[in-house]
Homo-oligomer: A and B are copies of this chain.
Amino acid sequence: MTTGNTESTKQNPKDNRLLAALSETDYERLLPDLELVPLPLAWAVYEAGGTLGYVYFPTTSIISLLYVMENGSSAEIAVTGNDGLVGISLFMGGESTPSRAVVQSAGYGYRLKASVLKKEFAQGGELQHLALRYTQALITQMAQTAVCNRHHTVEQQLCRWLLLSLDRLPTNELSMTQELIANMLGVRREGVTEAAGHLQNAGIISYSRGKITVLDRPKLEQRVCECYAVVKKEHDRLFPQTKDQTVH
């Protein structure tokens, strides 16, 4: 909301950084096929094993990639916002994946028909390169999630999760209950309550009934495990932020 362009009437495809990185000619060619859609909270962009009709380029929304196990417990393996796209299996060749993608923070995004994306991708142009490079960043995030699940505490993982979400939002406030965060992290709700309590006592966050406000981001970054920095650094390496890209 700080940038003042999160209203549906002010949406712009270039709010998605992948689309923004396209050259003007490629961008212009795709523009007629880009369709603005609202992405409501908890909506499943795709289900495990299901085929996708579109790829989504989020602008103001956040999408979680989740694996749900047989017994119903789940774990988030990656998160995507305006830095990427949802639906990589369309161009990677599988058509579907065993994961499901859920809107974690409501907002907007642009979608592109699967057929259009595939055609564009097959031409081997910029979109192909960007999509593959983004997939590479996604792989890093997934791998680091695996490591983090193995070695770090719930509190560290909560910090990581908050920072990853924060990076994809225009504000320092997120709408998310501790119960839902627990589902994402694949831990108990009580564990999140305890960790969140610590952070609140330390004056780092404040929350009440599904609203979490980050008060002191630097302190949050002190408490997080190395996993956050690794993912961020690798993403920045693959997608260097030039002034051109943000201004353009």
The interface bits of chain A over 176-201 (1 if a CB of B lies within 8 angstroms of the residue's CB, else 0) are 00000000001100000000000000
Q: Smallest CB–CB gap between A61 and chain B, Å?
A: 21
Contact between B94 and A146, CB atoms less than 8 A apart:
no
- With A98-B230, A186-B151 already in contact, the answer to whether A143 and B93 are too (CB < 8 A) is no
List which A77-111 residues lie within 8 A (CB) of chain B: 77-78, 88-89, 91-94, 97-99
What residues of chain B lie closer than 8 Å to A237, measured between beta carbons? 94
- The stretch from A4-12, A27-35, A38-46, A67-75 touching chain B is A67-75
What residues of chain B lie closer than 8 Å to A149, measured between beta carbons? 146-147, 149-150
Contact between A150 and B186, CB atoms less than 8 A apart:
yes
Q: Identify the closest chain B residue to A185 (Cβ).
A: B150
Cross-chain contact of A99 among B69, B143, B151 (Cβ < 8 A) = B143
Is residue A135 contacting chain B, with contact meaning CB distance below 8 A?
yes
Is residue A122 contacting chain B, with contact meaning CB distance below 8 A?
yes
What residues of chain B lie closer than 8 Å to A91, measured between beta carbons? 132
Cross-chain contact of A142 among B75, B92, B139, B187 (Cβ < 8 A) = B139
What residues of chain B lie closer than 8 Å to A60, measured between beta carbons? none
A37 to B234, CA, bound (A): 31
Contact between A136 and B89, CB atoms less than 8 A apart:
yes
Cross-chain contact of A136 among B69, B93, B186 (Cβ < 8 A) = B93
What residues of chain B lie closer than 8 Å to A65, measured between beta carbons? 143
Contact between B136 and A139, CB atoms less than 8 A apart:
no
Contact between A92 and B226, CB atoms less than 8 A apart:
no
Is residue A238 contacting chain B, with contact meaning CB distance below 8 A?
yes
Cross-chain contact of A75 among B78, B136, B151, B226 (Cβ < 8 A) = B151
Q: Identify the closest chain B residue to A238 (Cβ).
A: B94
What residues of chain B lie closer than 8 Å to A77, measured between beta carbons? 142-143, 146-147
Contact between A147 and B69, CB atoms less than 8 A apart:
yes
Contact between A139 and B97, CB atoms less than 8 A apart:
yes
Is residue A175 contacting chain B, with contact meaning CB distance below 8 A?
no
A139 to B147, CA, bound (A): 15
23 contacts between A and B (CB under 8 A): A67-B144, A69-B151, A69-B226, A70-B226, A73-B151, A88-B136, A91-B132, A92-B132, A92-B133, A93-B238, A94-B133, A94-B137, A97-B136, A97-B140, A98-B140, A99-B143, A122-B124, A135-B135, A142-B142, A142-B143, A142-B146, A147-B186, A149-B150
